[in-house]
Amino acid sequence: MAKTESTAADQSLDFALLQQTMPGHASRNRRALLWLLGLLLLLLASVVALVLYLNTFEADEEARSRAADAQWLEQSVQFHFRRLEDDLLLLARQSVLGASHADSAPLQGGLLWREPGVLLAHGWLATGQGSGARVGLARWQQDWSAHPANAQALATLQDTTRGLRRSAYAGLMLQPDGQATDVVWLAVPFFDRGQFVGNYLAALSLERSTAALVPTWFTQNHAVHLATDEAKPPADDTRSKPPYRAAMNLAGTDLFLEVTPLGVHAATVPRIFFLVALLFLSGMLVSLWALRRDIVKRQQVQALFQAQVALRTAMENSVTIGLRAWDRSGKILYVNESFCRLVGYTALELVGRSTPLPYWPADQADELELVHRDIIAQGTHEDGVEVQFQHRDGHLLDVLIHEAPLTTADGQQIGWMSSVLDISERKRAERLAARQQERLQASGRLVVVGEVASTLAHELNQPLGALSSFANGLLNRLRGGRITLPEVVPVVERMERLSDKAGHIIKRVNAFVRRREMSRQRLELVSFMRGTLSQHPLQRQVDLELALGPAPVWVEADALLLEHALHNVVGNALHWAPLAGRPARVQVRIELDQGLAGMVVGDSGPGVGEEHKEQIFGAFFSASADGMGMGLAICRSVLEAHHGRIDVGRDPLLGGARFTLWLPLSVEDALGGSAADNRP
């Protein structure tokens, strides 16, 4: 791991660069490729050498076969001609010893003796019978006189047998025109007590002899022809295999048997050996190719693995989250640098440790042991587990732990992988926020008290002033005796209504103070506005117009709080409408826009200046001399509590101020598409 980390640190962490082949891999690839190419060349050289060897072997084998065939043919020819010589010697003995009719004597001769057409003529020629007086030797006289060369050859034949005391041949015999025939003469001498007695002569047809001597199995693969020493193959000979000659070894002649192989007869065993070797070599080539592919794939996988390891190491070194792996028994298998910095211990001090772990606080060891067992048994939930660790220097830190199963390649779980996040700052921030919230709540309670006091002062100012005026007037008239009892009743009734109004104001303010417990209900806005405005005291010099429309508009709101806000806005409009020097008018209508319902209150007063638009909703700001400056601030609080807002602008119809109280439509109206409708 240390070697991998150092390699990853020396290289760029660009993932595309990591995917490239490392220099070491390239050199190893070249070496492996050179080895494979060398082995391939060796195999090809072996194949070429094997082919050349087989060709040489076949040529040598063919030469040996031809030599064997020629030797066999020569021996066969010599054997049968020697057998014929023995047969003729027997006939010569019979002729000399006085056996009658030697030509017809029963003789079990050899192949040439029995084969029809081989012996053209034969007979005994005694000493002194040079003309061949016997009938059987008429062929002798005929050939003798046919051509001078024949007479010379036959004379030489006789001299050879008498002088060398062995059989001799003469031929080929020539015709009178000089054309050679296939006839040769055989002379077998007979000596009686060392004295030459005569020759037994036989005229032989060599063509018939050759046909009789060469067996059928030999002629199936060879063509055999009689040839002389002077004979040469024709110039247009296109035979695939040149003929070879087997000497007939007939003393006194230069005759050969010309043997021509028919077709190509390759050696079967070498061919089979070559095919088997070629098959194995092909298998080796395929194996080399597969090995090359496997090596390339393995190198690619290795390069990808090293890139992934380098990338993972870089990622682990760059994150601030502590990583910890442990097995199912609770023994730590791996920690990263961030975890070591988190707890102040090195990896060597943590790997292999089991519970209790050194970074557990001593006073929380039992609790952490239970948490540890639960994690080993079932892991953590999506929210994780919050515990406290103790740094090596002694300070405590809050951490959030998430666990994921640690599995092998076959899916077997061997432990858990933990991500440990330091949330100490967040915890301190939460505690600080809680203290701030407590302070804000205390301040909020003070603000609520101020709002209640301001609201009561603002709302009760008018009815209490009216009650005081009515009470003083009634008291003055009673003291002066200028009022009768029937005149007292309307004044008291007016005072009663004013006191009821004050009580109603106190009730609404009390409900507003308890707005955190407000009860939202589905409210039909058109009927609500009609009912609320019917209870509002009207002024004779102001014309109040309602343009609410017949279609119902539904919102979810607290009726008491919304009534209070609407009373404030309409009361302001009735107050400012007569102050612009034109007919006093106040118009109340409903508008719909993008899922919101707006209660629009416009007047014909002087309007709100641009310099006051940002201030009128602040507390204690009022453009009226006798105002408290809390009415619009309370309205804004009510609208924001309903997730709405209040806007101010200039009314295009009446020319004065226009206040719009926006509230979200209920779910049914929002889905019905009424938000796209704008109604005057």
Q: Where in the chain is the domain with CATH 3.30.450.20?
A: 319-422
Q: Return the CATH number of the domain spanning residue range 519-676.
A: 3.30.565.10
Alpha-carbon distance 420 to 354, whole Å? 17
Beta bridge partners of residue 402, listed in sequence order:
419
pLDDT at position 616, please? Answer: 74
Question: Which pLDDT band, with edges at 50, 70 and 90, does 339 fall under?
Answer: confident
Q: Is the pLDDT of residue 18 over 60?
A: no
Please give the DSSP secondary-structure letter assigned to residue 380. Answer: -
Scored b (16 or more CB within 10 A) or e, 73-99 reads: bbebbeebbeebbebbebbbebbbeee
Mean pLDDT of 79-103: 76
Alpha-carbon distance 24 to 28, whole Å? 6
Question: Which pLDDT band, with edges at 50, 70 and 90, does 53 fall under?
Answer: confident
pLDDT at position 267, please? Answer: 60
Residues 6+ apart with CB under 8 A from 640: none
pLDDT at position 359, please? Answer: 86
Residues 6+ apart with CB under 8 A from 466: 494, 498
Q: Is the pLDDT of residue 3 over 80?
A: no
Alpha-carbon distance 355 to 375, whole Å? 13
Residue-wise pLDDT for 269-301, tens only, equals 667 777 887 787 778 778 878 887 888 888 788
CB 630 within 8 A of CB 636: no
Better-predicted residue by pLDDT, 131 or 494:
494
Beta bridge partners of residue 576, listed in sequence order:
none
pLDDT at position 112, please? Answer: 80
pLDDT at position 442, please? Answer: 54
Cα 207 versus chain centre, distance:
82
Of the ranges 2-6, 241-245, 257-261, which is most confident? 257-261
Say which residue the tokens 């004044």 belong to: 491
Report the share of the chain in percent with pLDDT over 70.
78
pLDDT at position 675, please? Answer: 40
Mean pLDDT of 501-508: 71
Question: For all residues of the chain together, what is the average pLDDT?
Answer: 76
pLDDT at position 670, please? Answer: 55
What is the Cα gyration radius of the chain?
69
Question: Which pLDDT band, with edges at 50, 70 and 90, does 562 fall under?
Answer: confident
pTM, rounded to two decimals: 0.38
pLDDT at position 108, please? Answer: 67
Q: Is the pLDDT of residue 388 over 80?
A: yes
Alpha-carbon distance 289 to 278, whole Å? 16
Mean pLDDT of 459-465: 69
Q: Where in the chain is the domain with CATH 1.10.287?
A: 424-513
Helix axes 23-96, 268-318, angle to 10 degrees: 170
Residues 6+ apart with CB under 8 A from 262: 220, 221, 222, 223
pLDDT at position 449, please? Answer: 52
CB 618 within 8 A of CB 633: yes
pLDDT at position 266, please? Answer: 56
Helix axes 138-146, 148-164, angle to 10 degrees: 120
CB atoms within 10 A of CB 129: 15
What single string gives the DSSP state of each residue in 335-359?
A: E-HHHHHHHT--HHHHTT--SSPTT
Question: Which pLDDT band, with edges at 50, 70 and 90, does 619 fall under?
Answer: low
Mean pLDDT of 463-477: 79
Mean pLDDT of 316-330: 79
Q: Is the pLDDT of residue 63 over 60?
A: yes
Question: Which pLDDT band, with edges at 50, 70 and 90, does 26 fall under?
Answer: low
pLDDT at position 662, please? Answer: 92
181: burial class by Cβ within 10 Å (0-12, 13-18, 19+)?
middle
* Token pair in block for residue 185: 């003469």
Mean pLDDT of 615-637: 67
pLDDT at position 109, please? Answer: 73
Mean pLDDT of 170-187: 86
Domain 319-422: CATH superfamily, name plus number: PAS domain (3.30.450.20)
Nearest to 633 by CA among 461, 458, 503: 458
Q: Is the pLDDT of residue 154 over 70?
A: yes
pLDDT at position 541, please? Answer: 78
The pair phi, psi for residue 277, each rounded to 5°, is -65, -40
Question: Which pLDDT band, with edges at 50, 70 and 90, does 133 fall under?
Answer: very low
Say which residue the tokens 């079967």 belong to: 268
Residue-wise pLDDT for 394-447, tens only, equals 888 888 888 888 888 777 888 888 888 888 888 888 888 888 777 666 555 555
pLDDT at position 193, please? Answer: 82
Q: Is the pLDDT of residue 569 over 80?
A: yes
Question: Which pLDDT band, with edges at 50, 70 and 90, does 235 fall under?
Answer: very low
Question: Which pLDDT band, with edges at 50, 70 and 90, does 12 fall under?
Answer: very low
Q: Which CATH number fits domain 424-513: 3.40.50, 1.10.3470, 1.10.287, 3.30.450?
A: 1.10.287
Question: Which pLDDT band, with edges at 50, 70 and 90, does 6 fall under?
Answer: very low
pLDDT at position 628, please? Answer: 55
Alpha-carbon distance 659 to 503, whole Å? 27
DSSP H stretches of helix in 319-423: 337-343, 347-350, 365-378
Residue-wise pLDDT for 574-601, tens only, equals 888 888 778 888 889 998 888 899 999 9
CB 253 within 8 A of CB 169: yes
Helix axes 424-480, 485-513, angle to 10 degrees: 180
Q: Is the pLDDT of residue 331 over 80?
A: yes
Three state DSSP letters for 233-257: CCCCCCCCCCCEEEECCCCCCCEEE
Alpha-carbon distance 507 to 328, whole Å? 66
Report the share of the chain in percent with pLDDT over 90.
2
Cis peptide upstream of residue 356 (ω within 30 degrees of 0)? yes
Beta bridge partners of residue 543, listed in sequence order:
585
Of the ranges 170-179, 248-257, 439-448, 504-513, which is most confident? 170-179
pLDDT at position 601, please? Answer: 92
Q: Is the pLDDT of residue 450 over 50?
A: yes
Query: How many DSSP H helices and E strands does the chain contain?
Result: 18, 19
Edge-to-edge strand order for the sheet containing 222-228? 222-228, 255-261, 244-247
The pair phi, psi for residue 389, each rounded to 5°, is -110, 160
Q: Is the pLDDT of residue 392 over 80?
A: yes
Alpha-carbon distance 126 to 95, whole Å? 9
Strand 195-205 and strand 645-650: the pairing is unpaired
